[in-house]
Amino acid sequence: MTAIVFVLFPGVTQLDLTGPAQVLSRLPGARVTVAAATRDPVATDSGFAMLPTATFDSAPSADILCVPGGHGVADALSDEPSIAFIRAAAESARWVTSVCTGAFLLGRAGLLDGRRATTHWAYAHLLPLVGASHQPGRVVEDGNLLTAGGVTAGIDFALTLVAREAGQAVAESIQLSLEYDPHPPFDSGTPATAGMRRTHALRASVYDDAAARMESALRDRAGNPQ
């Protein structure tokens, strides 16, 4: 059995978790656990809640640790039970992984020091604050560390991980079973393809404030003052 443990916290971007979970649940011998501080429903960023299947105390030892992101990461950075769980789970995990801004929770747990990583494009400049160097890409591997870019990149990361665990043929079969063959109606999925005007407008309306809040949360710690 391969124990796959996802960390759940308020304000998570649900696709950061459910996208990889849909893929990884089909890994032969997989058992997926969603762990949170309590078994109470946890609000996501999509207007509905998710139900954990275990608490941090009752979750199994993780072979694969998965940390999603979301606007709730800024608050989760100061949640010591969550950070302690991530740090402890990573000690015995074969793979330590994140999607989107989940990378900063790995970083707060001390798991990105000197490592190459990626995250959502709007936050990539903050990775040095957790000891990481930013490597552009939808999926970045550094030893047993796999980090994914923003949101939908979690599906790519999960297929990459399946290939590492069970071979490319298994990963391709899972991709086929999910009919994962993206052909988006618009070519606007990255700053490069969206263009400067649209990217700057989105930064101004959403991500300037969100990134500033993340930076403040990252700096609000002993040894890294404001």
Our CA angle for 224, 149, 161, nearest 5°, is 110
- CB neighbours of 9 closer than 8 A, spacing ≥ 6? 36, 37, 42, 70, 72, 73, 75, 76, 79, 82
> Does residue 66 have an active-site annotation?
no
Q: What are the distances in angstroms from CA 107 to CA 37, 88, 90, 111?
A: 19, 13, 12, 5
Tokens 């443990």 belong to residue = 5
From 100, 103, 146, 211, the catalytic residue: 100
Please check whether residue 34 is in contact with residue 62, taking contact to mean a CB–CB distance below 8 angstroms: no
E strand or H helix at 100? none
Q: Measure the CA–CA gap between 115 and 96, rounded to whole angstroms.
A: 12
Question: Which amino acids are annotated catalytic?
Answer: 100
